């Protein structure tokens, strides 16, 4: 079986637009949640979000490209550039027919949809941008990366709500295992902090309304949690076949060793109450990786800060790990970066890889009164050094989609 390793990472996130800035802020327990400033949110029940800050798209795209791309595409282009540079790929030497691109997004170019719909209503159909469709459709995230770099391997986008980018990474793993590519640029992006998206989530009563304390609003596993906080951004990973990466002398963050997927087949938005689908996803990832539950030391939880979801995931972890569940290090990155929707799986896979690299698990902030039904070790008292051999990263989405990625600490031949 061909093995896959992570050799490059690029991120845009609410607490950092570089890998190390993100990682240092997560370790320090810094919240990226604040009052929404993209639009007037005064009419909304929730008025807070975890926004990307300090990003200048003109540093990565020219004026023509800026007019023809949605914000979500600008995020993914920048993150891909970061990741490719980080991997130190020599683009003049790689066989571009053996480089694939698989990315995920749950919502895609919704800002362009809103803006162009307004133009249609106020100015008429002839004024709608000829680039509207390409700005809106989700597959263009992978398409634009391919066009930018000339990558001609497998190329597509996955859409499975908040599991989208985790599914993309799982598919990238399969492409490398099957020998269809030596390199796959993978991950995802989301930019849905817009009026229409916000209105929809507010109407569904999915978002936290702790508007007076934005930095404390995302509180996974706390008994006073009242919904998730919307986040945004992008995370791109360069995945390579292990021997290929070693031959070119690439640095390796971590191994990607398995992926499990399942469906709840229960409800449009709510998880199966007993976490049965999530448990099957985790078991499938362990089986795919050839791991026993005893070998896993860390779980990056989906941990959205929703009343039902956190309990269901806790039950799933207990189901899979039994008596070992209490000894696991578990955290929720969403406590600081909010829920990046379709990009959540990718950013959390990045965080799991950094945790494996450094042997450190960041805290889950805002657990002030831990829910007695969520009675595992969620790192509420701060981050700490942990000798991690293998980690799981969970991503679950509306529609009952479940994806679990399994990652391992990379041990080189000398180690």
Distance (Å, whole) CA 120 – CA 133: 14
Alpha-carbon distance values, 374 to 222, 269, 287, 300 (Å): 8, 20, 26, 15
Rounded Cα gap, residues 221 and 380, in angstroms = 9
User: Can 162 be counted among the known catalytic residues?
Assistant: yes
What residues have CB less than 8 Å from 331, skipping those under 6 apart? 300, 301, 303, 361, 362, 363, 364, 378, 379, 383
Cβ neighbours around 259 below 10 Å, total: 24
403: β partners: 261, 395
> Is residue 302 annotated as a catalytic residue, yes or no?
yes
94: DSSP letter: S
Q: Who's near 55: CB < 8 A, 6+ residues apart?
A: 12, 17, 75, 78
Which residue has tokens 């990003």? Answer: 55
- Catalytic, 362? Answer no
Question: Is residue 124 packed enough to be buried (19+ CB in 10 Å), middle (13-18) or exposed (0-12)?
Answer: exposed
> First CA to last CA across the chain, in angstroms?
21
157, 202, 259, 302: the active-site residue:
302
- Could you say which of 157, 339, 362, 401 is catalytic? 339
Furthest-apart CA pair in the chain: how many Å?
A: 66
∠ CA 79-30-55, rounded to 5°: 30
Smallest CA-to-CA distance from 315 within 282, 350, 349, 361 is with 282
Polymer length of the chain: 415
| Dist CA 371 CA 301 (whole Å) | 16
Count the neighbouring beta carbons within 10 Å of the beta carbon of residue 35: 12
Cβ proximity of 361 and 298 under 8 Å: yes
Give the catalytic positions in this structure: 162, 302, 339
């Amino acid at each position: 079986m061909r093995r896959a390793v992570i050799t490059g990472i690029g991120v845009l996130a609410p607490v950092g637009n570089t890998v190390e800035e993100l990682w240092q802020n997560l370790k320090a327990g810094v919240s990226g949640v604040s009052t929404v400033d993209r639009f007037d949110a005064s009419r909304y029940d929730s008025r807070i979000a975890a926004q990307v800050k300090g990003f200048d798209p003109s540093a990565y795209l020219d004026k023509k490209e800026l007019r023809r791309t949605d914000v979500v595409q600008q995020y993914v282009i920048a993150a891909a550039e970061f990741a490719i540079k980080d991997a130190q790929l020599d683009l003049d030497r790689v066989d571009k027919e053996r480089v694939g691109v698989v990315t995920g997004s749950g919502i895609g170019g919704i800002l362009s949809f809103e803006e162009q719909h307004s133009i249609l209503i106020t100015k008429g159909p002839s004024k709608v941008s000829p680039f509207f469709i390409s700005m809106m459709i989700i597959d263009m995230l992978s398409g634009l990366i391919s066009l930018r770099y000339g990558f001609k391997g497998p190329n597509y986008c996955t859409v499975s709500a908040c599991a989208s980018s985790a599914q993309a990474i799982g598919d990238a793993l399969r492409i490398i295992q099957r020998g269809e590519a030596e390199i796959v640029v993978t991950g995802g992006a989301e930019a849905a902090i817009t009026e229409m998206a916000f209105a929809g989530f507010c109407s569904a009563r999915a978002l936290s309304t702790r508007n007076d304390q934005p930095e404390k609003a995302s509180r996974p596993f706390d008994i006073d949690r009242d919904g998730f906080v919307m986040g945004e951004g992008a995370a791109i990973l360069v995945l390579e076949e292990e021997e290929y990466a070693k031959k070119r002398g690439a640095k390796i963050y971590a191994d990607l060793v398995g992926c499990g997927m399942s469906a709840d087949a229960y409800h449009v938005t709510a998880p199966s109450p007993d976490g049965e689908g999530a448990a099957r996803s985790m078991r499938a990832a362990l089986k795919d990786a050839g791991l026993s539950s005893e070998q896993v030391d860390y779980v990056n939880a989906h941990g959205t800060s929703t009343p039902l979801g956190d309990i269901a995931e806790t039950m799933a972890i207990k189901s899979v790990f039994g008596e070992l569940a209490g000894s696991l290090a578990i955290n929720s990155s969403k406590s600081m970066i909010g829920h990046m929707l379709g990009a959540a799986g990718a950013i959390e896979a990045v965080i799991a890889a950094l945790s494996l690299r450094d042997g450190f698990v960041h805290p889950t902030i805002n657990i002030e009164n831990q829910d007695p039904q969520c009675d595992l070790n969620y790192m509420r008292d701060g981050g700490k050094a942990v000798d991690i051999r293998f980690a799981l990263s969970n991503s679950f989405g509306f529609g009952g989609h479940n994806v679990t990625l399994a990652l391992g600490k990379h041990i080189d031949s000398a180690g």
